[in-house]
Each structure stands twice: as structure tokens, then as C-alpha cells.
Amino acid sequence: MIKTVEIADLKERARRRVPKMFFDYADSGAWTESTYRANEEDFRKIQLRQRVAVNMTDRTLESTMVGQTVSMPVALAPTGLTGMQHANGEMLAAQAAEEFGVPFTLSTMSICSIEDVASVTTKPFWFQLYVMRDRDFIYNLIDRAKAAGCSALVLTLDLQILGQRHKDLRNGLSAPPKFTPKHIWQMATRPQWCMEMLRTNRRTFGNIVGHAKGVGDLSSLAVWTTEQFDPRLSWNDVTWIKERWGGKLIIKGILDVEDAKMAAATGADAIIVSNHGGRQLDGAPSSISVLADIVDAVGDKIEVHFDGGIRSGQDVLKALAIGAKGTYIGRAFLYGLGAGGKQGVTEALEIIRKELDITMALCGERDVQVLDRNNLYKSGLETKPRMAEVKKKRARTAGA
């Protein structure tokens, strides 16, 4: 058994436990995967400012994301096929997040349905929406999320068409898996995964099968999902979605300052700076490399969140210091889920929390909400201080 110290340990455990086609789905990007790699690599260019002989007692990581109190400013990102990393994966991850005090975001392309997750949680979770051509299906999906008590809708705008993901194409990815010799071998070498999957009937896209027109069996599902993502999606669609939803709205997939300004003008509650984990436009910049410019452009108009490349609590701190008010982990929690189910997700969150707490203390801070660019050195990424942040920190420090 690999001793679990960091997220990389969970990743290795998951690699040994999850069939290759599903592990690769979580651990890959589009085309050459240059953007996928940059999401992690660019974090290393940011240096932390160490402080000594400061009071490190009574530290707190508690914060808020779109008005919701969180035990630390980290949410579980919406990830497709989560229930193929581990049986009933979305349900287990949602329970772990709820117990930890952080938001869980359910993907439209989840294996467990909205109703499945609602049946095992006692507090509201968030729901992520893809816009399909079938508007009646989208109306119904939004209404189902409302009926389940979801407290925020995360509208993803960067998947109008599917990016080319070479590993998925080579693996012949499907849910449930096809019974080809290659896939049978992959599953045969992962007996524990197989036994757990045999004990559940949740093996396909639970939010779609039985809910969308013409999708009453598995054979039509792949064709339907390929044809249904709407390439005509526009900013005008945000208006009717916001009206239909009527609650907190978060717009995901912003990587450009002009798009950030357009998103802020919609009246949404937050945006997520994200390149879809490097799974859409390969060659686009890393999320962390554009965060400062977007915060500077719209941070006083809309809450800015961050997603992409977080593999440690130090990465969380760097994003917060640049100006994000909340962060999302996708692969980090998927590795935990694949490695050990609900307990593995909890382990991932505990690792992130411990690393964030220790790093914050060594940077001379006691409150995660006062982190700003003064906690960073100028490096390969732009991290110039913002005067508003400087004044805010001085005021909070004076009142401590």
C-alpha cells in the first residue's frame, strides 16, 4: 500500500485500481496536452513570500463562495463519468464534501443522477449545466436541480463542441464500457473495481437516460450526446437560463478578459476562470497565467473563482493570493475517489487543507480571506499588488 502524503500518492493508487480507459479519462487533456501540462507547470513559477517572527496562532481557513460558508475556499469541480472512477462515485464524493464543509458540484454528464445525489445528502449541492439543442430537456434539467434543492447553478460555456481528446479516442471510451477484448482485459485486471460496479446499477449517464427524448436505452446515448451540445450558444442564452433558474448563477469556462467582462454584465454571481482542465482548446494559456488580468478587469464587479491544475494546498493559496475568492479541484478529488471511494475523497480534501494551512502560516498569515499578492514574489507570472488589496489588508491587520 502506498503511504498517502500528497495528491500524487492518491493518483498512483487510483492508477492501480481503475481500468485504464477511465483513469485516462480523468488524467488527460486534448490534442498534445500542452495546456493540460501548463495548468500544473505554471503554478511552479509563482514563488511564495516567507515571513518569520509573526503570530501564527488561531488560524482560520473558513470563507464564503457565492454567499455560502465553506470550511475552506475549495469546491469539488463538476466532472463527467465520476461514477466510473468508483461505483456510485458522485454520491460518495458529495457525501465526503458535505461532511468536510465544502461545495460539491454535480456534472450534467454524471453517472449518478441529480436525484441519486439528493437522496444521500442533507445539505444543498451545486449543479453544472451544459446547454443542449433540446431546450425542453434543459428546462427539465434546471427544474430537476431546483426540485433537488441545489443552491447554485454552474453554467459551462466552453464546451459547445467537444475538444479532440486522443486518449479517449484510442481507448474507445464509453459508459458503460464496451465488451471488447481490450476492455475486458482492463477490467479483469481491476477485480475490486469490477466487484463494486457489479453491486450498483448506475453505469451510464443518469441525468440523461430516461429523461431525454429518444434516450431510453444505451445504444442511442453516444449519438445523442455528440449531436446535442449546442454550437449556437450565445450570451443571450445566459439570460433565459438565469431567469429559469432564479438562484445563484456561476459561469464556468472564462479564459479571456473580454469574455469576463461579458459574463460580469449578465448579472451572474460568479465566474470560474477555467480552460476545462486542458481538455478543450489545446494551446490555450494555463488558467493561473490569466487569473490576475481577469481579477484586475472584473474582480470589483463579480466574484472570481478559479479552476485548473490545483494539486496541492499551495496551489490553492497561490490562486487566492492572486485574487480568486474560491477554487475548484477536479482531478485531485477524482484520484482520491478512484483510490479509495468516499474515504479517498476525504483524504484528498485533508491533504489540501493541511497544505493550505501550513503554507498560509509560513507566509505569515492567519486568515485565508486576507491573502493577496503581497504574499507572493513577482515571478514568471504577473503578481503585481493591487492597492485596494493593500489597503484592505492594512485595515484588517490594524483591527486584529
| CA 235 to the chain's CA centroid | 22
Is 158 in contact with 271 (CB distance < 8 Å)?
no
The whole-number pLDDT of residue 287 equals: 98
Per-residue pLDDT for 396 more than 70?
no
Assess if residue 249 is contained within a domain: yes
Is 275 in contact with 159 (CB distance < 8 Å)?
no
pLDDT bucket at 348, cuts 50 / 70 / 90: very high
Q: What separation in angstroms does the CA of 389 have from each of 70, 131, 267, 363, 385?
A: 22, 36, 24, 16, 7
Q: How many domains does the chain have?
A: 1
Assess if residue 264 is contained within a domain: yes
Assess if residue 182 is contained within a domain: yes
Binding site for glyoxylate, residues?
25, 165, 276, 279
Binding site for FMN, residues?
78-80, 107, 128, 130, 156, 252, 274, 307-311, 330-331
Out of 86, 166, 211, 276, the active site residue is: 276
Domain range for 306 is: 7-398
Whether 276 sits among the annotated catalytic residues: the reply is yes
The whole-number pLDDT of residue 24 equals: 95
Binding site, residues?
25, 78-80, 107, 128, 130, 156, 165, 252, 274, 276, 279, 307-311, 330-331
Assess if residue 1 is contained within a domain: no
Sign of CA dihedral 200, 203, 209, 215: negative
The whole-number pLDDT of residue 180 equals: 85
Mean pLDDT of the chain: 92
Q: Kindly write down the DSSP assignment for every residue of 22-52, as one continuous string.
A: HHHHHT--STT-HHHHHHHHGGGGPEE----
| pLDDT more than 90, % of the chain | 81
Pairing of strands 68-70, 63-65: antiparallel
Q: What is the pLDDT of residues 286-332, one digit of tens each?
A: 999 999 999 999 999 999 999 999 999 999 999 999 999 999 999 99
Is 328 in contact with 309 (CB distance < 8 Å)?
no
Query: What CATH number did the domain enclosing 210 receive?
Result: 3.20.20.70
Q: What is the pLDDT of residues 353-394, one digit of tens each?
A: 999 999 999 999 999 999 999 999 965 555 555 545 555 555
Q: What is the pLDDT of residues 41-60, one digit of tens each?
A: 999 999 999 999 999 999 99
Grouping H, G, I as helix, E, B as strand and the rest as coil, residue 96 is: helix
Residue 76 gets which letter from DSSP? E
Assess if residue 2 is contained within a domain: no
Partner residues linked to 228 by β-bridges: none
Selected residue with higher pLDDT from 164 and 268: 268
The whole-number pLDDT of residue 328 equals: 98
